[in-house]
Structure 1
Amino acid sequence: MRFAIERPLEEDTVPVWNDTTALQTLDRLIVRADEAAHDVLLLDADLLDDSEWFQGARQTAHDRLLELCELARASAWDSGRAETTTWQVTTSAEAGRALRIANSPLKVLVESRLRDGALLDVAVRLLAREPVRRLWITPPIPLAMEVLHAGGTGDMPGFMEQEANNAREAELPLRLIVVVDSDRTSPKQPPSSKAAEIEQKARELGARPFTLTKHEAENYIPDFHWHAELARDPRNPRWAKEMTDILSMPSNDRDYCDMEK
């Protein structure tokens, strides 16, 4: 999330950086932004030098404001990152709401915490950008990210609706990613009707759906793991047969089979 601190549109409105009721909130916002990998943009940096906020800031906040001002003047942020939502902060009320957003976690809804949660954990650790990976491994308080599990696809629409209702009641944007198994049985087959239904529901509510390309989370387990499991317990005839059967399958079949059967 990006928080753009800028002058109000109405000329007779006191800028948020000169509103004494907002200054502590602004201080807390920039601290939380650093903790939770949010961005703070000072779009009117040249106006801040003589502001109540800048002049009255404690040394740590003062130094951070100097850094943010320099970034703003140099246009050093990446304005092209389409996946980042920007929240404008021009008044004390907007600053308070921005802080509540910054203190609320980005939520990820999965079908199963054990299976899908494990895949999510590996994906974040190996593939995520460094700020996100750091938040995942060493989470701040309050949490910046939270994993929810529905217990199955049948319960996911209800979970999404509840999260959307909670966000509306709190007057906060819905920050929810929904990860669902595709249940595809071949590379050319579309996701199952249930997966498509969940994806459509997520979009209607304003959540961000992510449908797995392969059949389910277990299909992403790499070969070396199956070989390791086979070597770990080779005397179990049922286990050895299952591992051998899995490893003998062509990759396309293995990627799109139901691993629980």
Structure 2
Amino acid sequence: MAEKTVMPALEARDLTLTWDEDSDVVRHVSLCVDPGETVCIVGKSGCGKTTILHALSGLTRPREGQVLLHGRDITGKPGQVSYMLQKDLLLQSRTILDNACLPLVIGGMRPAEAREKARPLLERFGLAGVEDKWPSQLSGGMRQRAAFLRTYLMGNDVALLDEPFSALDALTRADIRSWYVRTASELGMASVVITHDVDEAVIMASRVYVLEGDPRAGVPSTIAGEVPINRQVEGAFDLSPEFLSAKREVLSLLG
């Protein structure tokens, strides 16, 4: 019996994106992420990683290609997937719970009802006991957890994350990225993460897409390769030969 094929949660097919009519940023880029999976995109600064996220989110319409959400064409249609920027962008005038509830309230839900819907998720997101505090009272890691909860409450099962851990210190960063991958998988949330950090990409992702090119020099970026990550190891993955092998392959593709 043939093995059942899982439909990707999000898929980009042959995307070509431009800064203007004469300059391609990325050319013929295809990638996908399965339900509950985390994939990472790595590449040098200025190679078009964020431009790809803009296309996946519908904020930018590609010159060529399609974006599919569970097989449905969402090319150029914003609001279909969740998008988390580099900064947490929490509102200082709202409590942590009210910040997390913001997508529900914007969607028309009464604030009291929104709070009740979000409250059961506080413990899962590591925010139990701090829901009534202000953003300025929390550490960077706790603020980022609140931002993740807000992203989840947007109601989409696909999240796009643009350098989400770059502002955190090394220990907090290591802790929260492991927590995020585990929590997203448990919730069935597919994630596309862009990062400059090769170690982070290999630690977080089940697959890493490597971009090569320099659009600012007139060389559109393309996918140099896709590196699958084998985590079936004993002990700490980031000390294993499998980790080092995957890291070496990513670095080789980056040149």
TM tier, smaller: under 0.3
Higher RCO (CA 8 Å, separation ≥ 6 residues): 2
Structure 1 or 2, whichever has the larger Rg, is 1
**Which protein has the bigger strand share?**
2
TM-score relative to the length of structure 2: 0.27
